[in-house]
Amino acid sequence: MTLDRPRFSTTSLREGYDMQEVDQAIDLIFENLELAEPRFGAERITDLRFTPVRLRQGYDIGEVDTWLDLAAAETARRASGGAPPEQAPPVPGPAPEAQPHPQAAPQPVSAPQPQAAPARSSYEPTRSSAITEVSSGGPALYLILVAILVVVGVIAYALFA
């Protein structure tokens, strides 16, 4: 299985994952998969949590979770010694018939290696009562500032007029 760089649908009215956080995680996953000896395993991918966003652009939660499951399965496969598809060993064809040697002892047959199970899907949006998002405020900040100036002006007029 080859893992391709994903292109997720975006949401703005529904809840989605913070786009910057997801992009950073995907970059780290691809960097990890390119290493000969990975820095982290599939467990870390399944433990990823992203900030849910509402009323602004975010990635579709279901699409991100599905791709992360694939990435975790690929990471587990490579960690268990599975070769990437480009380096897969050739499939042996039928062996030519050989003359049995009377002294040769039978070779033990090794049991097939178990396949890595796909990673469980445990991505839940995080919920917290703490304020986790801080922004510059944009137009709302200017509106509040103007309202404060109007109130101060009315109070000053009432006191000094």
Give every CB contact of residue 146 below 8 A, 6+ residues apart in sequence. none
Per-residue pLDDT at 124:
52
Mean pLDDT of 134-148: 73
Q: Is the pLDDT of residue 28 over 70?
A: yes
Question: What is the helix (H) or strand (E) element at residue 143, kind and residue range?
Answer: helix 139-160
Q: For residues 91 and 104, which has the higher predicted lDDT (pLDDT)?
A: 104
Q: How many CB atoms lie within 10 A of CB 125?
A: 13
Question: Which of 4-8, 86-90, 102-106 is least confident?
Answer: 86-90
Per-residue pLDDT at 92:
46
> For the whole model, what pTM was predicted?
0.51
pLDDT tens track for 99-128: 555 555 556 655 555 555 555 545 555 555
Strands across the sheet with 10-11, in order? Answer: 10-11, 58-60, 16-17, 52-53
